[in-house]
Amino acid sequence: MLKKTVIIVSAIILILAAGFGVAFFMVKPDKERIVDFIKENPDRISISLSQNETVLAEHNEVKMLPLASTVKIIIAIEYTYQVAEGKLNPDQKLLVSDLEKYHYPETNGGAHKTWLNNLELEKDSIVS
């Protein structure tokens, strides 16, 4: 039963990711909008485009920026694998202070702090 649940959760995550990908391409911004955004927000962009080892374009290519939700997808997939293998219990509750041990500041654009503030959680709160 647990393995089936994990497979279903994984499938839902993949379907959502695919849905966001399709939605992105359906409303894909044109070249001018992308260039305008880069010009208007030069400090918010870090990009390096290459093809066959030939650099086509770069802007702040060595600047580190938060990955935000990109990392969440990878973590969610690994979580489902570990639950399926019996390494993690999906019903286990955790202290917020334990979650803080794995938080890397400046890697998620402030999402972690916002989450804690919105839920009004204290360090000794329990979450599931």
pLDDT digits (tens, 9 = 90+) for 52-88: 889 888 888 888 776 656 667 788 888 889 999 999 8
Instruction: Tell me the residue type at 107.
Output: T
Give CA angle at 101 (103, 2), nearest 5°. 85
Q: Residue 106 has what pLDDT?
A: 72
Summarised one tens digit per residue, pLDDT across range 10-22 is: 667 767 666 666 5
Three-state secondary-structure class, residue 100: helix
Residue partners of 44: CB distance under 8 A and separation at least 6: 65
- Percentage of the chain beyond pLDDT 70 is 68
* pTM to 2 decimal places: 0.40
Is the pLDDT at 104 greater than 60, yes or no? yes
Q: Residue 12 has what pLDDT?
A: 73
Three-state secondary-structure class, residue 113: helix
Three-state secondary-structure class, residue 48: strand
Q: Residue 36 has what pLDDT?
A: 85
